[in-house]
Amino acid sequence: MGGYEDVADLAAAARAELVREIELSGAWAADPVWRESFRAVPRHLFVPYYYVGVVGGYERRWGEQPDPAARARWVRGAYADAPLATRLRDGELLSSSSQPSLMAMMLVELGVADGDRVLEIGAGTGYNAALLAHRLGDDGLVTTVDLDPEITESAARHLAAAGYRPVVVTGDGARGVPERAPFDRIIATCALPEVPRAWLAQCRPGGRILTPLATGLAVLTVRDAGHAEGRFLHTPAYFVPLRGGGRGTPELPGLGGVPRRARENDLFRFLLTLSQGTLDPQEAYALWQRESAPPRERYGVTVRGERAWAWLDDPEGPYAWAFPANSGGP
């Protein structure tokens, strides 16, 4: 592997293989238009360096290494269907590039249509914003926001290098971007303890919000500025918390991916997390057994006025928990 032409050739081949892998996962079976975005957007330009877990810590891989074999490992890793740690500070994970097949599934579930205005919470490397911009066009339809100016500055550089121009904003994602509202879709790529009310006010009635919550992915339909409701998708998912306050390794929650193998009692842990201390472990386990280990898609979230709650099967049914636990009940 000699120079940059070799990098481009290797990247093109690795990108094609990634597209085939996502295809086999079935992530975009319901909306194959996303195939073209993943085929076109060069992920390696968004991860000029990243970290992989090794015994005792992390190993940094980057595209400027003089050793051709090391550059080849960087390129191949950039197109692996795996989350990548991209920013660390004192061992704390601040930002990552999510697992591509999970990104594809989330983008399909977001349900965008031509002309939609989309707000992304959590700019990360800029790769997800580039996928959206490729799908929707570069005429100001895509906005991405992050609190950390270092993250937004690097995301803007990566986007420019790849030839995409979504609007990049430095600010608190929990507050949304009111000056760019209204939006048709809002997608978060970081974990939150609840759905911020500001998002409902900035999303059109009938719009959709997709956000990580409690190791799952909730998809809410906005009824009006004070009311949204929806269910969880079937898949587990782990993301860096909003404001970048999490720790993680490629094998543990936090990077923006799906666990490689199901953890024992994963669905029970989901219930325990979702109930946020309203149920103690014994109560949660009794409910989990009684309801035959309910899968994630049986759970949902409702936000209505000042109240917000998680529920099993029915938002007005017997199994409902204030969300968060100290915000008042349904």
Residues designated as active site: 95
The phi, psi pair for 208, rounded to 5°, reads -130, 140
Q: What is the CA radius of gyration of the chain?
A: 20
As a whole number of angstroms, the distance between CA 132 and CA 37 comes to 8
As a whole number of angstroms, the distance between CA 171 and CA 285 comes to 40
Residue 86 contacts by C-beta under 8 Å, 6 or more apart in sequence?
47, 49, 50, 51, 95, 96, 97, 124, 125
As a whole number of angstroms, the distance between CA 120 and CA 57 comes to 30
- Max Cα–Cα distance, the chain, nearest Å: 65
Exposure class string for 168-179: b at 16+ Cβ within 10 A, else e: bbbeebbebbee
Q: In what order do the strands lie in the sheet with 49-54?
A: 57-62, 49-54, 84-89, 92-97
